[in-house]
Amino acid sequence: MEKLKDKKFAFRVRERDLNQIRLKAKRAKMTVTDYLVASSLGKDIIVIDGVEPLIGQLKAVGKNLNQLPTLAHMGRIQAVRLDEVKEAFGDIAAALRDLTGEVK
């Protein structure tokens, strides 16, 4: 079990630098403390703009896939064509590659 944060550390910083730190922490969806600790310890902080809509699409596809066993057990479906699901995952993967600059 990890110890609680039990130590305080203070330092002086210019207002414009503090504002930049706050913006970077917010962009990374981290607290300023967590951002500073991660940065100071050399941990990578990766922010990919535009990934939120893709996460929503993945969740929607996942929910639909999770409903299939239930519908099959209820006898409401007999067979499933997953062509659309495969296409959706392909589109999402392509969008992620575009966002991250990854080469196919």
Residue 71: both structure tokens together: 């519908």
Read off the pLDDT of residues 32-56 as tens digits, 9 standing for 90 and up: 999 999 999 999 998 888 888 888 8
16 pLDDT above the threshold of 70:
yes
- C-beta separation of 20 from 37 below 8 A: no
Which one, of 9, 1, 15, lies nearest residue 36 by Cα? 9
Mean pLDDT, the chain, rounded, equals 88
Q: How large is the average pLDDT for residues 4-27?
A: 94
Tell me the whole-structure pTM to 2 decimals.
Answer: 0.57
